[in-house]
Amino acid sequence: MDPTTRDALLARVRFYRDLGLTEFYRRPVDPALLAQSAAEPVDAQTLGAPEPALSLSKGLVSETWGSNSSQPALSPKLESSGTPSFPRSSAERVGNQDSQGAPGLAFETRESNNPPPVFSLHPESPQEDAPIPPRKPIQAAPQIGDEVVPAARAAALQLIRDEIGDCTRCALHSGRNKLVFGDGDAAARLLFVGEGPGADEDAQGLPFVGKAGQLLNNMINAMGLKRGQVYIANVVKCRPPANRTPEPNEANTCSPFLFRQIDVVRPEVIVALGATAATYLLGMRQPLAGLRGRVHSFRGTKLIITYHPAYLLRDPRQKKEAWADLQIAMRELGLKPPSKA
């Protein structure tokens, strides 16, 4: 296996490991097929031919508004040349791709006390014994804070903002233009949580003011509300480089302030926008498809999970699904969509 292909496979395995999918095995080979293969003559030209080069294709942008995801993904699709393509993957696609693998490889779960041999990416490499680092833990949510009366909630949020100050608690501060704290009604019944600021948000210091923000505004209006009637915040308050997904240490550093904002606002319903928000609110990694379509109990309120507006811009076909999620939130709030008239 050439080094480029090996590195891509290793990166993909690390990506699955970070999601908690750790069991990768080689499918047992029929001895009769091995014997048949050994008996067949080998073409000298075939032995001398180099291994096919890896074909890289443009990946999907990540959930942080317009960047390419940093995690490569194996695709079972073949290009016209027959070479496997390894496009990058977004967190939104994990649920549809976890059951797929590279062409020619099968990934199976352990079914007995005697598992088959562990699959090795590069048995001839001296680094094969190096363990894949364990997935980074998600920090447990703090205890729910004391309730703040509605009249004092704006001041309580300002105290949190003052405590954050000119934050240098994680590496994200080095590329920050403006810290993006939050925006909206401090006593809102509905609170939206996104992933992190993009370029427009970093420039203005407000969440969701770019193209994804325009779509979010339309979603809020479709629910019969105005942006000023809801509260909007993010998991991280500084823009990640190139709009990448926040690293666990970055999100774990910043999320306690988000939990405090939630405890002050005390919304009746929270809508998590995308996989990153869902992961750090619920404290677990799961495909978005398994979290949508139902109400989760969270910090004394109701949590509903849907797609990030940036993802909906990339795949408008999912807007119908997102609207179904918002209708769940509307039902919990007793809202009816405004009439077309």
Q: Are residues 11 and 76 in the same domain?
A: yes
Q: Are residues 310 and 179 in the same domain?
A: yes
Q: Is residue 105 part of a domain?
A: no
Q: Are residues 241 and 320 in the same domain?
A: yes
In terms of Cα–Cα distance, which of 263, 268, 336, 261 is closest to 304? Answer: 268
Q: Is residue 106 part of a domain?
A: no
pLDDT of residue 164: 98
pLDDT of residue 304: 98
Is pTM beyond 0.85 here?
no
Q: Which domain holds residue 209?
A: 150-333
Q: Is residue 121 part of a domain?
A: no
In terms of Cα–Cα distance, which of 269, 261, 303, 258 is closest to 189? Answer: 269
d(CA 179, CA 232): 14
CA pseudo-torsion sign 192, 195, 198, 201:
positive
Q: Are residues 181 and 289 in the same domain?
A: yes
8 A C-beta contact, residue 8 and residue 72: yes
Q: Are residues 161 and 275 in the same domain?
A: yes
d(CA 216, CA 236): 18
Q: Are residues 172 and 315 in the same domain?
A: yes
Among residues 82, 97, 112, the one where a domain terminates is 97
- Rounded to the nearest 10 degrees, how much is the dihedral formed by the CA atoms of 53, 59, 64, 67? 70
Q: Is residue 85 part of a domain?
A: yes
Q: Is residue 115 part of a domain?
A: no
Q: Are residues 273 and 183 in the same domain?
A: yes
pLDDT of residue 241: 95
Among residues 54, 73, 97, the one where a domain terminates is 97
pLDDT of residue 34: 61
Q: Name the one residue in this structure whose structure tokens are 């949510």.
A: 141
Q: Which residues of the chain have pLDDT under 50?
A: 23-26, 44-112, 118-129
8 A C-beta contact, residue 165 and residue 247: no
Query: Can you give the CATH number for the domain in which 174 is found?
Result: 3.40.470.10
pLDDT of residue 7: 81
Q: How many domains does the structure of the chain reveal?
A: 2
- Rounded to the nearest 10 degrees, how much is the dihedral formed by the CA atoms of 303, 154, 179, 222? 50
Q: What's the token pair of residue 117?
A: 């041999």
